[in-house]
Structures are given as C-alpha cells and as structure tokens.
A and B are shown apart, each in its own frame.
Chain A
C-alpha cells in the first residue's frame, strides 16, 4: 500500500493564480483532512470530509475550497492565491471507527509570490 500520497510536492504560484492540490489514499479510509503547517504554529485544520460527497470547514477554511467526489481522493483548491497561503499542506486520512489514528501524507510545499 502506498498509504497517503500528495501531488504536487512543490509549487510556486503568483498572487491571484489558482491551483488544486490532490490527496489520494489507498487504505479505504472514510475520513480525510487537509491541514496547513506554518513555522511556529501547530498543524491547523483547513477542511475535512467524513465520506464521499461530504465536506466540512475546519479552523482556517477561508480562501480554500475542497471536493470529495471519490472516496480515495480529496482535493484542495485555491481559487485566487495570496502570499498568506504560503505554507506546507498536509493531507491525512483515517477510518471512521476505532482506532481513530490519522495517517499523514508527505506534504506539498506551496510558495505564493
């Protein structure tokens, strides 16, 4: 099993450009999450999904949209990138029941100029 994979690994955007980050998992997990990690701050939840076709807002959702059209994929979109969205983005997934351990992907580094 590949676990949780993220595409791309690194991206540079100009202010105002749009992009989509892809997260894929092959563990048949129901729940999926998008976090951002910034220096000096803990991981912060952007959006999450408890199943195919469902999404919900996390702690810092502004400026991001998500979609979960297939159980194994969770997409994070930036419609109009801003420098404040420069960060490392992590995707995670877990089973709906116990154990409720979240498994993380390798991350996507995004630089917005």
Chain B
C-alpha cells in the first residue's frame, strides 16, 4: 500500500527564517511526486511535480528536491504570504494511477 508521511505537522517560522518541509513516501515504483499549496477555505494549488531521484524544481522562494525515499520543500527567506498548508502526494505506475496524499504541513510565517 502506498504511504505518504509529512513532517512536521505544523511549522512556525519568523519572516526570513529558512527551513524545510519533509515528505517521506513508500510506493512500489514512483511515477511522480507532487507538491500542492492549500490556503484556508480553498482548493489545493499545484506547485511542482518531481519524477526521479536527484531532480530539483524551483519557484520563487520554494525549491523541491527528490530522493528515492523522500522529498523536501525548501523555503528560503519566507514571507507571511507563504503561510499555508503544503500537501505532498505520490503517484504509482499503472494506467489511471491515482494520487496518495499526505496529511499536509501547516506553515505559519510571522512578520
């Protein structure tokens, strides 16, 4: 059974204090790993897709990396507007393959 564990459950940072969010996964052959951002009362918003170990992707203050067992979402010099819940999901091989989501990490950035 595919499993995704995100840690920590919640993270409070001071503005400008860089940190990383962790996503550990167990899947029989990774087809893709997805990061989403979710603001309160809204639907998840797509951030990144990673396909193979060693791959990295960046968007503004966010950088996602992937190994064979986990993915990290690095946040550099965060701002209050980066406060949100960050979701990680994995996709196993196979036609019509579905996403398995973690419980999410709630990030709060204080000014």
A residues with a Cβ closer than 8 A to B are 4, 31, 33, 40-45, 48, 50, 56, 58, 90, 99-107
The listed residue (A31, A40, A104) touching B43 by CB distance below 8 A is A104
Residue B45, interface by CB 8 Å: yes
Q: Is the pair A106, B96 in contact by a Cβ cutoff of 8 Å? A: no
B85 → chain A closest CB, angstroms = 10
Per the CB 8 Å criterion, the residue count for chain B at the interface is 24
The listed residue (A43, A101, A105) touching B101 by CB distance below 8 A is A43
The listed residue (A4, A48, A99, A106) touching B98 by CB distance below 8 A is A48
Q: Is the pair A50, B96 in contact by a Cβ cutoff of 8 Å? A: yes
Q: Is the pair A100, B91 in contact by a Cβ cutoff of 8 Å? A: yes
A63 → chain B closest CB, angstroms = 19
Query: B interface, by DSSP: helix, strand, loop or mixed?
Result: strand
| Per-residue contact bits, chain B 54-65, to A (CB 8 Å; 1 contact, 0 not) | 000000000000
A44 and B32 alpha carbons, distance in the complex (Å):
18
Contacts A42-B104, A100-B32; A105 near B43 (Cβ below 8 A): yes
Question: CB-CB < 8 A to B31: which residues of A?
Answer: 100
A33 and B96 alpha carbons, distance in the complex (Å):
11
Question: CB-CB < 8 A to A58: which residues of B?
Answer: 98
Contacts A41-B103, A43-B44; A48 near B96 (Cβ below 8 A): yes
Question: CB-CB < 8 A to A107: which residues of B?
Answer: 41-43
Give 13 new A-B contacts, CB below 8 A, not counting A56-B96, A104-B44: A31-B96, A42-B4, A42-B104, A43-B89, A44-B101, A45-B98, A45-B99, A50-B96, A58-B98, A100-B49, A101-B34, A107-B41, A107-B42
